[in-house]
Amino acid sequence: MSVTLTPQVEDRIRHWIERGPYPDADAVILKALEALEAQEQARFLETRELVVAGLNSGAGVELPPELWAEIEREADEADRLGLPIRDEVQP
């Protein structure tokens, strides 16, 4: 596999090689991939916990269209203002 990196990414990798415990670019990239995989695993486990909590929270109720419209308006306004959107409500 051949990968083309931007100069900024090359600089960051070089930084880790020169100042860190990594002997070469492969070691830096491997460590970054391990961190990414750990992050994704943590996100999966957190999502699973939220699903289980939802399932254990009791019977579901139907939300009326007016409430859905209000939720959408609030989300659109938060997005317009550049406010952060909680991870659990993002697609």
Give the pLDDT confidence score for residue 53 in this predicted structure.
94
How many structural domains comprise the chain? 1
Q: What is the pTM of this model?
A: 0.61
In which domain, by residue range, is 37 found?
Answer: 1-55
Mean pLDDT, each 10-residue run in order, the chain (91 residues) = 95 95 96 97 96 91 89 88 76 63
Residue 2 placed within a domain = yes
- DSSP 8-state symbol, 88: G
Report residue 55 as tokens: 């399932």
Tally Cβ neighbours within 10 Å of residue 13.
Answer: 20
Residue given tokens 């830096």 in the structure block: 28
pLDDT value for 72: 86
In a domain, residue 71? The reply is no
Tokens of 50: 């939220």
pLDDT of residue 60: 85
What are 73's two structure tokens? 């308006």
Does a structural domain hold residue 50? yes
Task: Let me know if residue 21 belongs to a domain.
Answer: yes
Q: Is residue 3 part of a domain?
A: yes
Give a yes or no: residue 45 inside a domain: yes
Q: Is 42 a member of any domain? A: yes
Q: Tell me if residue 48 falls in helix, strand or coil.
A: helix
